[in-house]
A = this chain, B = another copy of it.
Amino acid sequence: MPNSFGKLFQISTWGESHGPSVGVVVDGCPPALPLTEAEIQADLDRRRPGQSDITTPRKEADAVEFLSGVFEGRTTGQPLAMLVRNGDQRPGAYDEMKEKFRPSHADFTYTAKYGLRDHRGGGRSSARETVGRVAAGAVARKILRLAGEIEVRAFVTEIHDISAPAFTKFPTLAQVEASAVRCPHPATAAKMIARIKQVRAKGDSVGGVIECRVRGVPVGLGEPVFDRLEADLAKAMLSLPATKGFEIGSGFAGTRLKGSQHNDVFVNKRGRVGTLTNRSGGVQGGISNGEELVFRVGFKPTATILQAQRTVDLRGAGTELKARGRHDPCVVPRAVVIVEAMTALVLVDHWMRHAAQNRTFKF
């Protein structure tokens, strides 16, 4: 159950970095959705290592295979299982980590919690686990597209101390994918890429911020009180490796406004109720209000760096560790599609929940 997410459109992921495979089962997928492995692959390719010169050079084809749930090109309503075999493993690169805990990594906590761990490449704590999320997210995104022309778009707004100017328009996918860093502002993207290469050259790492927007969200998604839409989004985002913060709409900056400045005035937008501004970020009372969903996620710098660091070993004795292996100097660009995946999963799940309670019976 800790490895499942969603209540009606539920995914369960499995797999570790250097085990045989990673994968996912989607339970509750609506039937008759046209679906091909190629569509899933397109999203996996955006997550794949080795896709550009600012990511890890680890080579993984990450080819997805349907194990069940699709018949004659359509989903059957039965569990949709998808598998990606792991390849290009150099387990020897992790021998040192068997005995030493990498600072700010999950090595110590997993060992303490379970009494043992698969130390190769971080095992289950590796971001490789997100392969299953991205595959399932591709299904969710297709449902959103077909159901309501809903577009989920994430992009990088900050890398280290470099920030892009605010985006007034909804960026296109092409704009996001135009640069390896996935910042749709070309001049800023160039600076970001330069910074990432610079820190990598020193064996160091940087973090950043991803913004995610969704347009076309129907009114009414999200549930009082614990399963507010922003609560489930926050959980989804903080469940991603390396995340340290989440804010929606005005976020932390909004705490410095007065109510009279912060409130979003309601207006009639061509027959529907809308708001003039969007400090709410598309949710009010935990429920989508039909405006664009807007939130941001903060990622810390990659914990595994190639510099020597002090640490302790399995016996608690002080030692030094200099990681080898092939690591991303910055996880943020590859995380863009993961943020999109988790967002789509939350939305489809809440859509189904909303329909179940409010559209099933009429009185």
Contact = CB atoms under 8 A, between A and B. Distances in A.
B287 A110 contact: yes
7 nearest interchain CB pairs?
A106-B285, A245-B247, A2-B223, A205-B259, A235-B235, A109-B287, A356-B356
Given A68-B21, A207-B257, A356-B8, A363 B112 contact: no
A360 interface: yes
A98 to B, nearest CB: 11
Contacts of A298: 247, 251-252, 254-255
Contact of A207 (B2, B146, B255): B255
B255 A112 contact: no
A219 interface: yes
Interface stretch (A55-63, A173-181, A182-190, A311-319): A311-319
How many subunits of this chain does the assembly comprise? 4
Interface stretch (A44-52, A164-172, A273-281): A273-281
Interface in A35-75: 65-69, 71, 74
Nearest to A162: B256
Contacts of A80: 14
Contacts of A193: none
Given A30-B360, A124-B225, 9 more contacts: A1-B28, A2-B27, A14-B68, A23-B67, A233-B238, A234-B238, A245-B251, A265-B310, A266-B310
A117 interface: yes
Contacts of A356: 8, 28, 352-353, 355-356, 360
A284 B108 contact: yes
B285 A225 contact: no
A331 to B, nearest CB: 11
Contacts of A71: 16, 19, 116-118, 123
Contact of A352 (B265, B280, B312, B360): B360
Contacts of A262: 104, 207, 300-301, 303
A18 to B, nearest CB: 9
Contacts of A8: 1, 8, 353, 356-357
